[in-house]
Structure 1
Amino acid sequence: MPDRILIWGAGAIGGTLGAFLARSGHDVTFVDVVEEHVNALRDPARGVRISGPVDTLRITAPAFMPSELSGTWDQVYLCVKSQHTAAATRALLPHLAAEGYVLSLQNGLCEPLIADIVGTRRVIGAFINFSADWIAPGDILFSNRGAFVLGELDGRISDRLTALHSTIRESFEPAAIVTDSINAYLWGKLGYATFLFAQALGQLGIADCLARPELLPLWCTLGGEVHDVAVAARVGQHGFNGFDPAAFGPAASAADARRSVDAMVAFNRPAAKTHSGIWRDLAIRKRRTEVDFQVLPVVETGAALGIDCPKCRKLVAMIHEIEDGIRPMTDDNLIELMHA
Structure 2
Amino acid sequence: MSAEKLKIAIYGAGAMGTVLGALLSDCALEAKVDLISRNRAHVEGLKKSGAHVVCTASGSEFTVTVNALLPEEMQKKYDVVFLMTKQKSNAETVKYLSKYLSEDGIVCTTQNGLPEASVAAVIGADRTYGAAVAWGATFVGAGTVELTSSPEAMTMEIGSYSGRGDKLRLLKELLESVGTKTGNKNFVKVTDNLMGGRWSKLAINAAFSGLSVVTGLTFGEIAEKRKTRKLALGILRECFAVARAAGIKLESMQGHDMEKLLGKKGFFGTQAALFILPIAMKKHKGLVSGMLKDVQKGKKCEIDYIDGAVCREGERYGVDTPLCGRVVELVHGIENGLYEISFRNVDFF
**Is the alpha carbon distance of 1:207 and 1:243 closer, same or farther for their aligned partners in structure 2, counting shifts above 3 Å?**
farther
Deviation, structure 1 residue 201: 0.9
Count of residue correspondences: 332
2:160 is the counterpart of 1:149: no
Question: 1:212 corresponds to which letter in structure 2?
Answer: K
Give 5+ residue unaligned stretches, structure 1: none
Other-structure match for 1:16: 19
**Is the alpha carbon distance of 1:263 and 1:239 closer, same or farther for their aligned partners in structure 2, counting shifts above 3 Å?**
farther
Paired with 1:140 and 1:254, the residues of 2 have a C-alpha distance of 42
Question: 1:89 corresponds to which letter in structure 2?
Answer: V
| Secondary structure at 1:204 match in 2 | coil
2:250 is the counterpart of 1:237: yes
Query: Please, which of 74, 80, 84 is the counterpart of residue 79 of structure 2?
Result: 74
**Correspondence 1:54-69 to 2 at 5 A:** 54=58, 55-69=60-74
| Secondary structure at 1:28 match in 2 | strand
**Is the alpha carbon distance of 1:163 and 1:260 closer, same or farther for their aligned partners in structure 2, counting shifts above 3 Å?**
farther
Other-structure match for 1:275: 288
2:341 is the counterpart of 1:329: yes
Paired with 1:219 and 1:57, the residues of 2 have a C-alpha distance of 34
Paired with 1:272 and 1:2, the residues of 2 have a C-alpha distance of 37
Other-structure match for 1:165: 172
Paired with 1:261 and 1:174, the residues of 2 have a C-alpha distance of 30
Paired with 1:239 and 1:310, the residues of 2 have a C-alpha distance of 25
Give 5+ residue unaligned stretches, structure 2: none
**Is the alpha carbon distance of 1:135 and 1:319 closer, same or farther for their aligned partners in structure 2, counting shifts above 3 Å?**
same
Other-structure match for 2:10: 7
**Is the alpha carbon distance of 1:22 and 1:191 closer, same or farther for their aligned partners in structure 2, counting shifts above 3 Å?**
same
**Is the alpha carbon distance of 1:35 and 1:216 closer, same or farther for their aligned partners in structure 2, counting shifts above 3 Å?**
closer
Other-structure match for 2:198: 186
**Is the alpha carbon distance of 1:274 and 1:31 closer, same or farther for their aligned partners in structure 2, counting shifts above 3 Å?**
closer
Deviation, structure 1 residue 229: 1.2
- Cα deviations across residues 280-334 of structure 1 (Å, max 9, x unaligned)? 2223x33222111111111112112222222211110101111112101111212
- Could you tell me whether the CA contact under 8 Å between 1:206 and 1:275 is conserved in 2? yes
Question: 1:185 corresponds to which letter in structure 2?
Answer: G
| Secondary structure at 2:293 match in 1 | helix
2:120 is the counterpart of 1:108: no
- Could you tell me whether the CA contact under 8 Å between 1:18 and 1:28 is conserved in 2? yes
Question: 2:304 corresponds to which letter in structure 1?
Answer: D
**Is the alpha carbon distance of 1:221 and 1:331 closer, same or farther for their aligned partners in structure 2, counting shifts above 3 Å?**
same
**Correspondence 1:174-323 to 2 at 5 A:** 174-175=185-186, 176-196=188-208, 197-241=210-254, 244-249=258-263, 251-269=264-282, 271=284, 273-283=286-296, 285-323=297-335
Paired with 1:225 and 1:295, the residues of 2 have a C-alpha distance of 10
| Secondary structure at 2:53 match in 1 | strand
Paired with 2:157 and 2:8, the residues of 1 have a C-alpha distance of 18
Paired with 2:270 and 2:95, the residues of 1 have a C-alpha distance of 42
Deviation, structure 1 residue 246: 4.0
Q: Percent identity?
A: 23
**Is the alpha carbon distance of 1:270 and 1:187 closer, same or farther for their aligned partners in structure 2, counting shifts above 3 Å?**
closer
**Is the alpha carbon distance of 1:86 and 1:31 closer, same or farther for their aligned partners in structure 2, counting shifts above 3 Å?**
same
Paired with 1:255 and 1:168, the residues of 2 have a C-alpha distance of 40
Paired with 1:89 and 1:192, the residues of 2 have a C-alpha distance of 26
Paired with 1:206 and 1:243, the residues of 2 have a C-alpha distance of 19
Paired with 1:286 and 1:215, the residues of 2 have a C-alpha distance of 24
Paired with 2:283 and 2:89, the residues of 1 have a C-alpha distance of 31
- Cα deviations across residues 207-232 of structure 1 (Å, max 9, x unaligned)? 12222224454234322221111111
**Is the alpha carbon distance of 1:331 and 1:56 closer, same or farther for their aligned partners in structure 2, counting shifts above 3 Å?**
same
- Could you tell me whether the CA contact under 8 Å between 2:219 and 2:284 is conserved in 1? no
- Could you tell me whether the CA contact under 8 Å between 1:7 and 1:30 is conserved in 2? yes
Alignment RMSD, CA only? 2.2
Per mean C-alpha deviation after superposition, the further-off stretch among 47-56 and 112-121 is 47-56
Paired with 2:313 and 2:284, the residues of 1 have a C-alpha distance of 33
